[in-house]
């Protein structure tokens, strides 16, 4: 039986391209699918309840590849196209029905493969993608987090600001694309409590006490392997993510043992194989008490980092181990 890595992502995903290239270079069979291609670009059939095996059997077919479900031993779940986009041309009721049927039918099959290493499972990614859950888990594991308020109450927001002085606002998910496909962003930014009014009641808001920092660290964790870079932005920039990569400087940074152990424990607690953690440094990076964690992106980008090649290698190792375990 073949041992195949199934890569679930959109067509334009450079990160997945790099991992696929690494696997191809090792001779590991790879099949790439975007579930939103369902139709002429992707057909499938799966059966269960026939014979002795209580698992789904069948095949996925694209115009150029075919893979039997029981050949898949590892799944790299990246960023597939939303099902809604596939059916955007339909009237709303038909669109929503077709997208839901595809998600719970085809998606349900892809999420229920047995004996497969997922990097990471989409249900685990979804569960770990909520910032309230992240912050609570960080605190439970003993990491330092910024004092945080989630609210839609202007009076509570003003009280929080009075207690902590300088506070910042962050989004939970960012801006969706505009109708013409433009994707913008709302970066972490300081807020003036004097501007708080009843408009806060419209939706949820995330406020945090500003952390006086001497630097920021991005820690990418793949399985048990850690890759850390201190990122320095131009003076006066609160959120380094708003800067183009060429405006930032990077330095490899050892992660203190207690922090490293806690990040691995964090991923295990969510059944994740991968995560991108963002920290503020409030002093010497060698001291664990100077690390304040902001968030973990369970499916984050890393291509612009100086150690991207090492991260790709680690991902390929993990997927190949899954493929070799069959």
Q: In what order do the strands lie in the sheet with 43-47?
A: 43-47, 57-61, 66-68
Mean pLDDT, residues 261-290: 96
- What b/e readout covers 122-154, taking b as 16+ CB neighbours within 10 angstroms? bebbeebbebeebbebbeeeebbbbebbebeeb
CA-nearest of 213, 215, 255 to 232 is 215
At residue 243 the predicted structure's pLDDT band, cuts being 50, 70 and 90, is confident
Query: CATH top-level class for 4-120+315-324?
Result: alpha beta
Could you read off the pLDDT of 181-192 as tens digits, one per residue? 667 778 888 999
65: part of which helix (H) or strand (E)? none
Predicted model pTM:
0.92
Domain ranges in the chain?
A: 4-120+315-324, 147-209
- Per-residue pLDDT at 128: 97
- Per-residue pLDDT at 326: 44
Identical topology for domains 4-120+315-324 and 147-209: no
- Per-residue pLDDT at 292: 97
Q: Evaluate whether 294 touches 268 at the Cβ level (below 8 Å).
A: no
Q: Is the pLDDT of residue 323 over 80?
A: no
- Per-residue pLDDT at 231: 92
Could you read off the pLDDT of 91-134 as tens digits, one per residue? 999 999 999 999 999 999 999 999 999 999 999 999 999 999 99
Q: Is the pLDDT of residue 255 over 90?
A: yes
Q: Is the pLDDT of residue 1 over 60?
A: no
Could you read off the pLDDT of 208-241 as tens digits, one per residue? 999 998 889 999 999 999 999 999 888 777 788 8
Q: Evaluate whether 38 touches 107 at the Cβ level (below 8 Å).
A: no
Could you read off the pLDDT of 19-28 as tens digits, one per residue? 999 999 999 9
Percentage of the chain exceeding pLDDT 70? 97
Q: Is the pLDDT of residue 157 over 80?
A: yes
CA-nearest of 173, 170, 175 to 149 is 170
Candidate CATH numbers 1.10.287, 3.30.70, 1.10.357, 3.30.1490; the one for domain 147-209: 3.30.1490
At residue 324 the predicted structure's pLDDT band, cuts being 50, 70 and 90, is low
Mean residue pLDDT across the chain: 92
């Amino acid at each position: 039986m073949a041992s195949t890595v199934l890569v679930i992502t959109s067509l334009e995903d450079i990160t997945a391209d790099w991992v696929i290239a690494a696997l191809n270079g090792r001779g590991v069979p790879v099949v790439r699918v975007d579930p939103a291609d369902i139709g002429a670009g992707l057909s499938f059939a799966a059966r269960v309840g026939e014979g002795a095996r209580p698992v789904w059997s069948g095949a996925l077919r694209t115009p150029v590849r075919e893979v039997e479900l029981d050949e898949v031993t590892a799944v790299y779940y990246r960023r597939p196209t939303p099902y809604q986009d596939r059916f955007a041309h339909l009237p709303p009721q038909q669109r929503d029905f077709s997208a839901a049927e595809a998600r719970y039918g085809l998606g349900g099959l892809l999420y229920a493969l047995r004996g497969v290493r997922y990097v990471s499972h989409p249900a685990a990614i979804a569960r770990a993608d909520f910032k309230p859950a992240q912050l609570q888990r960080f605190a439970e594991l003993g990491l330092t987090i910024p004092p945080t308020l989630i609210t839609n109450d202007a009076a509570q927001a003003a009280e929080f600001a009075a207690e902590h002085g300088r506070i910042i606002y962050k989004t939970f998910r960012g801006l969706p694309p505009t109708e013409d496909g433009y994707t913008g962003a709302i970066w972490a930014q300081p807020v003036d409590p004097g501007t708080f009014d009843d408009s806060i009641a419209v939706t949820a808001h995330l406020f945090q006490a500003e952390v006086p920092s001497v630097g920021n660290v991005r820690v990418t964790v793949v399985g048990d392997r850690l890759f850390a870079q201190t990122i320095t932005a131009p003076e006066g920039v609160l959120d380094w993510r708003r800067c183009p990569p060429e405006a930032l400087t990077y330095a490899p940074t050892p992660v203190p043992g207690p922090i490293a152990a806690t990040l691995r424990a964090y991923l295990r607690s969510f059944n994740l194989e991968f995560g991108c953690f963002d920290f503020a440094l409030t002093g010497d990076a060698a001291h664990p008490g100077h690390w304040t964690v902001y968030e973990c992106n369970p499916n984050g980008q890393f291509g612009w980092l100086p150690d991207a090649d090492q991260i790709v290698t680690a991902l390929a190792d993990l997927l190949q181990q899954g493929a070799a375990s069959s």
